[in-house]
């Protein structure tokens, strides 16, 4: 893993850092199937703090609620609902976080991911964030297409509703989002409005309106009351199963089968076990793709973060860019005038020509220039267009060629009857017909005679 420090590049102009950054730029430009994994670090510049930094959310929670929170992670654990004091702190914090998200704006890193999608380079983005800034920048986060957008009169459209398009989702929210709330009993979802955010900040869980309506109806008809659920954020906490886990797993498997040639990991501390496993699987797939395609500069795994990765990641990442995520992506142009290739060759990135072709596979010695600019066939002359007499194929033996009749000659040469042919001819005898059949045949062939009796 090569380390590239952006501060050294801007201050001293380090040659090694500049060379490594040029290789990273070439990898981004040469990529055609890119995967992106993001963490809380990409939203810091929008006003939303991260989790594990000295100024992150975990440290702020410990300072704000010293009597209730001993570890900031405990506030994002599913076991908090067993403690009434932790529940009040959780709802109060979620109301404040929702207010921060409403004020936040998309960062240059979000715009960079959107540009990858617009240029057809992005396979998918997997984000650990719950701020839904990927959705604001224009990346689709839903798993299925909205039924209102599909014409219900078309039978093909009706079938399309029942089947999910795995390319429809452009950004997968691995931990849910704060745009919606869900009931703990009936699982009814409703938008996280500003009014509900104010109720959350008071530390009181708001009741589910659907459950309240059902409770009123049951009271009118004289039925006994049931438990009424409360609304909670539609996010995935620690020690909690993801409701869309199987669907996300199928999307991940589908993306790995599409042979990604670039993986960019931005703004994550690499602490979540599921994220660590996903990054390692994608890294192996990207490196295997580099061996197959042999595209210049492709097949790289890039990690962008302020802090260094933990031990054991040297064989996973090819480049570690240490610094601000927004500063790093501004140095990574998605398209350039020329994409530098091996051996001093170049190929236009705007031409749409894929450097990898069947000719290159069959003839690896052929240069990229020969593939991108194939030689033009010369205009055929009058002599070359004249018809030429067809010659006999060279695969025939000489004896067979000599025995064939030449065009324009007379009768073909007579075949000599050999002794073997006489023996075969004499051995072929006509089948013998019994005498009874011969008489019957002669009887049928005789003409009818006149009757002697008078008519």
Which residues are CB-neighbours of 358 under 8 A, at least 6 positions away? none
CA distances from 81 to 78, 86, 341, 397 (A): 7, 7, 57, 91
Integer Cα distance of 147 and 140 in angstroms? 15
Burial of 50 (0-12, 13-18, 19+ CB in 10 A): buried
- Residue of 59, 119, 175, 194 marked active site: 175
The region, left, alpha or beta by phi > 0 then psi within -120 to 50, assigned to residue 138 is: left
Q: Which of 370, 207, 205, 290 is nearest to 32 (CA)?
A: 290
Q: What is the 3-state secondary structure (H, E, C) of 203-237?
A: CCCCECHHHHHHHHHHHHHCCCCCCCCEEEEEECC
Integer Cα distance of 387 and 238 in angstroms? 81
Q: Are 267 and 109 in contact (CB under 8 A)?
A: yes
| R_g over Cα of the chain | 40
Integer Cα distance of 288 and 294 in angstroms? 10
175 given a catalytic annotation: yes
Catalytic residue list = 175
């Amino acid at each position: 893993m090569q380390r590239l420090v952006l501060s050294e590049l801007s201050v001293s102009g380090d040659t090694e850092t500049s060379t490594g950054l040029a290789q990273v730029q070439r990898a981004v430009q040469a990529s055609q199937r890119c995967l992106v994994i993001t963490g809380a670090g990409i939203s810091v510049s929008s006003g939303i703090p991260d989790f594990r930094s000295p100024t992150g959310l975990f440290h702020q929670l410990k300072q704000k609620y010293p009597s209730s929170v001993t570890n900031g992670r405990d506030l994002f654990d599913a076991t908090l609902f067993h403690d009434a004091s932790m529940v009040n702190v959780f709802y109060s914090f979620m109301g404040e976080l929702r207010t921060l998200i409403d004020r936040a704006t998309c960062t240059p890193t979000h715009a960079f991911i959107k540009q990858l999608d617009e240029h057809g380079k992005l396979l998918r983005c997997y984000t650990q964030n719950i701020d839904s800034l990927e959705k604001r920048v224009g990346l689709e986060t839903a798993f299925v297409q909205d039924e209102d957008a599909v014409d219900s009169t078309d039978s093909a459209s009706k079938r399309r509703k029942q089947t999910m398009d795995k390319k429809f989702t452009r950004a997968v929210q691995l931990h849910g989002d704060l745009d919606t709330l869900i009931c703990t009993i009936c699982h009814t979802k409703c938008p996280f409005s500003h009014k509900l955010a104010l109720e959350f900040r008071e530390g009181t869980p708001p009741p589910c309106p659907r459950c309240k309506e059902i409770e009123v109806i049951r009271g009118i008809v004289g039925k006994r009351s049931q438990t009424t659920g409360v609304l909670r954020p539609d996010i995935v906490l620690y020690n909690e199963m993801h409701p869309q886990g199987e669907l996300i797993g199928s999307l991940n498997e589908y993306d790995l089968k599409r042979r990604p040639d670039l993986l960019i990991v931005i703004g994550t501390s690499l602490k979540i076990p599921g994220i660590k496993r996903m990054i390692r699987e994608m890294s192996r797939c990207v490196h295997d793709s580099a061996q197959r395609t042999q595209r210049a500069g492709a097949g790289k795994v890039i990690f962008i973060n302020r802090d260094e990765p933990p031990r054991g990641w040297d064989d996973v990442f090819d480049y570690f860019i240490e610094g601000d995520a927004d500063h790093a992506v501004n140095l990574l142009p998605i398209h350039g005038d020329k994409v530098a290739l091996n051996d001093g060759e170049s190929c236009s990135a705007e031409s749409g020509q894929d450097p990898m072709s069947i000719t290159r596979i069959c003839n690896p010695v052929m240069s990229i220039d020969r593939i991108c600019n194939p030689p033009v066939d010369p205009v055929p002359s009058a002599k070359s267009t004249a018809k030429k007499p067809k010659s006999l194929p060279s695969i025939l033996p000489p004896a067979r060629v000599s025995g064939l009749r030449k065009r324009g000659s007379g009768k073909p040469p007579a075949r000599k009857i050999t002794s073997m042919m006489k023996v075969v001819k004499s051995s072929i005898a006509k089948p013998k017909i019994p005498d009874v059949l011969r008489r019957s045949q002669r009887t049928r062939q005789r003409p009818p005679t006149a009757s002697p009796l008078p008519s």
